[in-house]
Amino acid sequence: MATLSMVGVSVSGFHNHHFASSNSNIVTISSWKPVVAVLASKNKMSVPFELKQGQSRIFHELPSGLSMEVIVQKKKKKNVEGEEEKNSPLVFVHGSYHAAWCWAEHWFPFFSASGFDCYALSLLAQGESDAPDDSVAGTLETHARDIADFIHHKVQSPPILIGHSFGGLIIQYYISALGSDNHDEENRYPKLRGAILVCSVPPSGNSGLVWRYLFTKPIAAFKVTRSLAAKAFQTSLPLCRETFFSATMEDHIVKRYQELMKESSRLPLFDLRKLNASLPVPSVPNCPVDVLVLGAKDDFIVDAEGLNETAKFYGVTPVCVEAVAHDMMLDVSWEKGAEVILSWVNGLDK
């Protein structure tokens, strides 16, 4: 398989995206319009994620001129008549220290084989996306608007939005905007078919999680702080495993993901002080979308109380998957969470 290679260019007149397939080093730039575009430069991750068969990487140009990486895998499954399944597309949003690649490893092949078009975004300054000229990648609002802009321009029918960890908190902001009484705000965000919050930071943020750990699990609190705030997961294989994965994951696999995570974030997703000051996310009395709140029994970051807080906020019963850790989509038993999601999505139209 060829390693993806991007050519650094700055061209007047090209708009929307350039494309690279998993089977070629060729970069094709298309969609001519009379504007000046800022196109993505050479690979930003020195440890690239090699796309799997059937996957491609595009770059969506945002109104700011910055380009956002999107990994795509289209549906494979056809019905008994040989026609393509008409399922809602799935749009995936990662959390801190991750990028679009985390969904492409296992869940993209699973869901595309089940009849779903899959799109995974790398938020600004993450993965191969461009970075703003700032000390952080953005805010809940700017990240949600970037997602909305991509959906508006590239997704033809209302998608199911799936977010992990802090990506789940961004989706919660998106849902609040959809349910807003401010019609200008509501119109800025395309409608969704559903939303799935995977091991999500709760609506009040992560401060409650931290304080609970300090009083009930002080050793765990120290480890989480050292791992994430001090980025010790980047240099300690045991700590990386304990933070994100199950104890049974083999060293070489943990090492591969550790290297990808080290390269995935050039700027923090948020200014955490400003973020926590802005929370909780606005409540939605009449939630405009069906929501699945999905947690992991062995989650080292989001505890049961955090999972329950999110579920209560949306008036739903949480689903907690046994024997799975925080990075449910990459973990040893990644298929457990995928199967719960598939069952829930298939039940939306019933």
Q: How confident is the model at residue 14, as a pLDDT?
A: 32
**pLDDT tens-digit series, residues 147-198:** 999 999 999 899 999 999 999 999 999 999 998 877 666 578 999 999 999 9
**pLDDT tens-digit series, residues 8-48:** 333 333 334 444 444 433 333 333 333 333 344 478 999 98
As a three-state string, the secondary structure of the chain is: CCCCCCCCCCCEEECCCEEEECCCCCEEECCEEEEECCCCCCCCCCCCCCCCCCEEEEEEECCCCCEEEEEEECCCCECCCCCECCCCCEEEECCCCCCCHHHHCCHHHHHHHCCCCEEEECCCCECCCCCCCCCCCCCHHHHHHHHHHHHHHHCCCCCEEEEECHHHHHHHHHHHHHCCCCHHHHHCCCCCCEEEEECCCCCCCCHHHHHHHHHHCHHHHHHHHHHHHCCHHHCCHHHHHHHHCCCCCCHHHHHHHHHHHHHHECCCCCCHHHHHHHCCCCCCCCCCCCEEEEEECCCCCCCHHHHHHHHHHHCCCCEEECCCCCCCCCCCCHHHHHHHHHHHHHHHCC
Q: What is the pTM of this model?
A: 0.85
Q: How confident is the model at residue 38, as a pLDDT?
A: 39
Confidence of residue 313 (pLDDT cuts 50, 70, 90): very high
Q: How confident is the model at residue 33, as a pLDDT?
A: 36
With 80 as the cut, is the pLDDT of residue 290 above it?
A: yes
Confidence of residue 77 (pLDDT cuts 50, 70, 90): low
Comparing 31 with 241, which gets the higher pLDDT? 241
Mean pLDDT of 255-271: 96
Q: How confident is the model at residue 350, as a pLDDT?
A: 66
Mean pLDDT of 69-95: 84
